[in-house]
Amino acid sequence: MEIIETTSAIGSLKDSFQEVEKKMGRVPNMFKIMGNAPNVLNAYIKFSGALNNPSIGQKFAEQIALATAEFNSCTYCLSAHTSFAYNAGLSKQEIMEARRLDSPDPKIDKGLKFVEKLLRSHHALSPDDAEQLKQSGYTDGEILEIIAFVVRNIFTNYVNIISQTAIDWNEIIEPSNSNANGH
């Protein structure tokens, strides 16, 4: 897909690019790809903005993003979220564990196992899954946030995979291909 340069943006697209630049200090390539559909870019910005300061914490949000990107073999998102994960305070070991849908923290591990079920067998979800998370200390709101972060990251994975978005992050991370997702 075509990258829409910020210098050629007008109207609402220019406003969206300016909003991204204000928040991130630049307009990453993924947003320039989304610029092909300004309404999609605007919706993504609003959805992502609504997930700022999650009750599950930024570290766990990044672990979800890393797990989802690994599962979907999205190199662009692995690169971006590895940078974000370091900024959120995750260690290299925690990053690698998240990519494997694991954590030594029992609560985070339970959350990542739920993420795995969302990714692998969403058709088998039931109220029991939410109940198990509640027994691990998650609230209803946190369970909804986990689902929202998975959905947001699946969306960006798909955009970047079909676009073959050029990586513009400091971390160049390839999927390990060790997951059994069939990709």
Tens digit of each residue's pLDDT (9 = 90 or more) over 62-100: 999 999 999 999 999 999 999 999 999 999 999 999 999
The yes-or-no verdict on residue 7 having pLDDT over 70 is: yes
Answer for the pair 131, 5: CB distance below 8 angstroms, yes or no: no
Tens digits of residue pLDDT in 23-71 = 999 999 999 999 999 999 999 999 999 999 999 999 999 999 999 999 9
Name the CATH superfamily, with its identifier, for domain 58-163. AhpD-like (1.20.1290.10)
**In the chain, what percentage of residues exceed pLDDT 90?**
91
The structure tokens listed for 140 are: 């209803």
Tens digits of residue pLDDT in 93-111 = 999 999 999 999 999 999 9
Domain ranges of the chain: 9-50, 58-163
